[in-house]
Amino acid sequence: MKIVWTSALLLGCLMGFSIGVDMVQGFSFSMALQNAYSPFRVMEFAELFVLFVLFLLLFCFVAEVFYRSFKVKKAKQRQK
């Protein structure tokens, strides 16, 4: 339970810091809140591309794990 509360506290502090920085830059509170809750809208193309590549690599890793487990399961069935 400590992990959940620590994570929530860290989230709150980081969101507050993000909103504070946006407000110092001249954004209104509502716009700063919108930027904090929807980070994909304020990303530039290069950041979105890096995020896309990261998710693509993560998908390939998960697909490989499922493929290998399926292959092992099928080999065990053949041995029986």
Q: Quote the number of domains for the chain.
A: 1
Task: Give the Cβ contact number of residue 36 at 10 Å.
Answer: 17
pLDDT tens-digit map of 23-75: 999 999 999 988 888 877 778 889 889 999 999 999 999 999 999 999 988 88
Q: What is the pLDDT of residue 55?
A: 96
Residue 16 to residue 29: CA distance in whole angstroms:
11
Domain range enclosing 41: 2-78
Q: Are 36 and 22 in contact (CB under 8 A)?
A: yes
